[in-house]
Amino acid sequence: MFWKDIPELTYELNKVRSLIKKSVNVKSNRLTLPVMDFINRDAKMLRPGLLILSARIFLPEDKLPESVYRYAASIELLHMASLVHDDIIDNAEFRRGLVSINHGYGVKDAILVGDLLFCAAAELIYDSTSDSDASVILHGLKHLITAESEELDDAELFRKGQLLGLFGRRKYIRRVIRKTATLFVAAMHIGAREVCKDEFMQQTMRRIGYDIGVSFQMMDDILDIISKKELMGKSSLSDLREGVVGYPFVLAVNSGNKKDEDKAISLFRKALSGGLFSSAHRRALVDMLVPYCDLARNEVLSILNRAKKHFVFLPKNKWTVVLLDTIDSLANRLN
């Protein structure tokens, strides 16, 4: 878990875990094993942790409303559901260091597990107090699904030979906002809104959530290229082989270096072709992208530093320090 070195959040996140387990308790022998397998796996719990931190910054000592924990659990359930369905779409073999649900239990059961997680999240949202906060989460989910659909469309267009407009930086950022940043923004907004009615403070937390979310996806893109399976819980270049281009690839294709641009496109085409993507091709693509990983890393650090500038507006307490330390911990993922 991402928060294991932050004991202040242990009690809070244990409540969230209990809510998650209770929410997926169904009388189905077929579903119980795979769904419990998945939710008991080691997870970062980053989004619910950030939601709780966002609330704690404005309510540092008093008991948090129960709605905070329900929203935290619902956001994690939505994230889990999206991962299960992602793995089905991508035919991914691994998730969180173990065999994916679709490979371990079959596609049919994996679809049902994802559906159950979505339903459990919806039930928790329905039981919470604020219609506006529920709307933020559901709006974020709609964006996430739209971004996933766009990724599939782009991969299909590339297979048909269409390149124009597929690898632009603006297009990449727009997709990341919808696919990843939206749940981070929702977490930070809802955590603050549930305990603080100051709209400027809510906006400040949304901006921090945006920067964390965008930089987090960029980090994952970098680690998809340079990390080992033990760190990411999946094989390297797994995203690229499914037609999902990461930020280093976007930088390479838009570098102005025609040799690198042509090589990136050629190797990407081989990656999508499956059997034609040999270990030698994989190594060549990694070697070519490493300098662009360094450029992407610099941009990640710049975005996280921008997030830190908002802290001047926040209350001065231990929870603000924990959030600041969290941003530094995220930056250290790339070290």
Q: Which of 117, 82, 3 is nearest to 50 (CA)?
A: 3
Average pLDDT value over all residues in the chain: 88
Residue 129 has pLDDT above 80, yes or no: no
**What number is the average pLDDT over the span 91-119?**
92
pTM attached to this predicted model: 0.90
- Cα angle, residue 42 at apex, residues 60 and 307 outer, rounded to 5°: 45
pLDDT-based confidence at residue 140 (cuts at 50, 70, 90):
confident
Range of weakest confidence among 31-35, 85-89, 284-288: 284-288
Q: What is the largest CA-CA distance in the chain?
A: 59
Please tell me the distance from the alpha carbon of residue 101 to that of residue 226, in angstroms, as a whole number: 25
Please tell me the distance from the alpha carbon of residue 335 to that of residue 332, in angstroms, as a whole number: 5
Q: Where are the beta strands (DSSP E) in 127-248?
A: none
pLDDT-based confidence at residue 264 (cuts at 50, 70, 90):
confident
Structure confidence at residue 155 (pLDDT): 73
Q: Which of 81, 103, 82 is nearest to 92 (CA)?
A: 103
